[in-house]
Every structure is written in structure tokens, then in C-alpha cells.
Structure 1
């Protein structure tokens, strides 16, 4: 007749095997889900990298971020320039870890820009002043205060942003 002590070594081996399998399963899952550090490229000559880091706020799901590009130009004192425009399709969305992790944005170095100026009447155009203008394009993104969002833009450009509070209620449109 078999005794319990006869099966003790087999039970110990099975228990040890379960622990080994559990250990390697945990190690494998940690390796799969571990955060890789993004490897962003260095900016090209004539370009700069600007990191958009949003402040931490409560209820961040209630906010959107509006992003605009800015530049400082020299114009006549008589000029009433408000903004500039460019083809926003030139703004490339890329990822540091493909396919969809750690997004960053790139504008070409030599991007064509349209600046419309209107001159005030009865004004001497000889005096020049520096004026900061913003792009007319509105780029809206979900609020994310955890990660910085790198932008690669021409050296003389800036990144500007503002937060918009979202009203989460949808209203029915009446006929």
C-alpha cells in the first residue's frame, strides 16, 4: 500500500514547478508592459524642439487644449496684422515608439506662410516695430498633463496654448 510520504517528493516538485512557471510568467508580463523610453530625434539645422508640458489639473477630462504657433515679425507701425496662416496639412504627426506611442509633431523648416497686413490711414510707414502674431489655425487636442508633447518647429516660431473647459452635456437640436 502506498503512503503519503511516497508522494511527498512528487508534490514538492510540482509545487516548485508551479512557482517557477509563475515567476517566469510575471517576468514576461513585466517585460511586455514595461514602459520603453521614447527616442525622439535631434532637431535639424534651422529647427528647434519645444516640449509642451501642461500643468496638472483636476478633472482633466473636462478640458481640451488649443495649440497655436506664433512668430515675431517686423512690420510697419501702420500695419494692423493680426495673424498668419499656413497649410496645417504640413504638420506631421509622428511617433517615437511606433505604431502609436509617444506622439510628436514636425513642421517643415521652409514652410510657406501667408501674412496679410492692412495699413492704417494717415500713418507714416517708415517706422518698423516688432509684433508677435499667432497662426489662424486652431489645433485642438485632448488634455494630457502626464506626458510632454514635443514639437519640432522652425527656430523663429513659438508654441502657444490655452485650455478650454468642456461642457459635457450634449444639447438636442430642435427642428
Structure 2
């Protein structure tokens, strides 16, 4: 091996190692993206846990959905969006479900929880559809957004055939004022 080959290999090694150092680090939030835990209980598999022992046991035909949020820095910058609904075989029309979502309070504790007693098929558009039906999540209303709070679980009581889907929202800007 001559001097120019050695120099070339040294330069390539330096460039490759510098390239590796320039790679963006993994953002801390990405590491915790799956840290939200969920549990679903019916009357048959109900298990009382310390953090949810004050909430009522699910009644017959109902499920208790528990969403537990991990502690985060600046929790006031986050919102939890929850949609209640069913996965159904639907055509190309827009479909909705109907039901009443109530916010209730655990007696003696003051902790909030949510309940839907009954869900029925709601309105849909009436377009002519030629495509085959597809399995899609059909929501009950627009869903709710609740303030992120890792101190208390978010508890929902729903009929057994009803699901919850959720996502987190995070603000990336400061408040602005209107012009005066």
C-alpha cells in the first residue's frame, strides 16, 4: 500500500465517522410515544387496581376502558383527544353513531369519568356507492379533548361492542394576542 492509498483510506474513514456524528439524535419524546397504557375490563375479567379502585366496577353489558398517561414535562402543553365508536363494514357514505356521552363524578372522590349507556346507528349521507364496503371506524360525535393529566387515569364506561381510539396533541407555539 502506498502513501496516497493510505491517505485516501484515512480521509474516507474520517468522512464516514464525521457523517455518523452528524446524524440527528433521537428526540426524547419519540422514546416515550408508546408509554400510554390502556386496559379494558368487563364484569367477567374486572381487576381492581390501586389507581382505579375508587371507580365503579363495570355493569353487565358494559366495559371499563382505562387510559393511563405517563408523567411528562410541561403537561399543560398536551391534550388527549378521545373518539368513541365502532369498527363497522360501511359503504362510501359518511356514517355517524348516536349516543349520549356523560361526564360523571366518583362519589366521595370528585374524580371525573365518562359513560355512554347506548350507541345506535346515526345519520349518514346518501350517495350512490359502487365500491365494495370496507371496515372503518365510525365515530360517536366529534369526540372529546381533555387536558393531559398524568395524576389521574381517564376512565370510560361503554357498551361492550364500542371502542375507544385516542391521540395526543401538543402545542408548539406560545399564546398570541389580538390586535387592539
Alpha-carbon distance between aligned partners in 1 of 2:88 and 2:94, rounded to the nearest angstrom: 11
Return closer, same or farther for 1:95/1:144 CA change in 2, 3 Å cut-off.
Answer: same
Q: Which residue of 1 aligns with 2:20?
A: none
Alignment of 1:1-175 (within 5 A): 38-75=53-90, 79-86=91-98, 90-98=100-108, 100=110, 102-108=111-117, 110-121=118-129, 123=130, 128-167=133-172, 169-174=174-179
Offset at 1:119? 4.1
* Contact 2:97–2:119 under 8 Å retained in 1: no
Unaligned runs of 5+ in 2: 1-49
CA distance in 2, matches of 1:92, 1:63: 23
Computing the radius of gyration from Cα coordinates, the structure with the larger value is 1
Provide closer, same or farther for how the CA distance between residues 161 and 82 of structure 1 changes in structure 2, counting only shifts above 3 A: farther
TM-score (norm 2): 0.59
Does the 8 Å contact 1:81/1:115 carry over to 2? no
Alignment coverage as a number of residue pairs? 131
CA deviation string 1:113-170 (max 9, x = no partner): 414144455x27xx55432223341311110123212100011111111111135633
Which structure carries more relative contact order (alpha carbon 8 Å, separation 6+)? 1
Structure 1 portions without partners, runs of 5+: 1-34
Structure 1 residue 98: deviation in Å? 2.8
Task: Give the CA RMSD over aligned residues.
Answer: 2.9
SS of 2:76's equivalent? helix
